Amino acid sequence: MKERKIAVIQGDGIGPEQTEATLQVLEARAKSIREKILRRKEERWERNIISQ
């Protein structure tokens, strides 16, 4: 999966509360995606071990 960088810039009526909440959502989602990738890698590894 390609890594993407996102810039979060406060402004245009977006206050610090909304910016902080957005960052929390993005961080939680990133963690969830990393965990899914790790689980898939582990599953593939386990399948390879079992099939040998």
Find the helix or strand (DSSP H, E) in which 6 lies. none
User: In Å, how far are 11, 24, 25, 35, 48 from 28, measured between CA atoms?
Assistant: 23, 6, 5, 11, 31
14-26 confidence digits (pLDDT tens): 788 888 888 898 8
Which of the 8 DSSP states describes residue 24? Answer: H
What is the value of pTM for the model shown? 0.55
* pLDDT of 1: 64
Distance CA 33, CA 49 (A): 25
Is pLDDT above 60 for 52?
Answer: no
Find the helix or strand (DSSP H, E) in which 44 lies. helix 16-51
Distance CA 26, CA 23 (A): 5
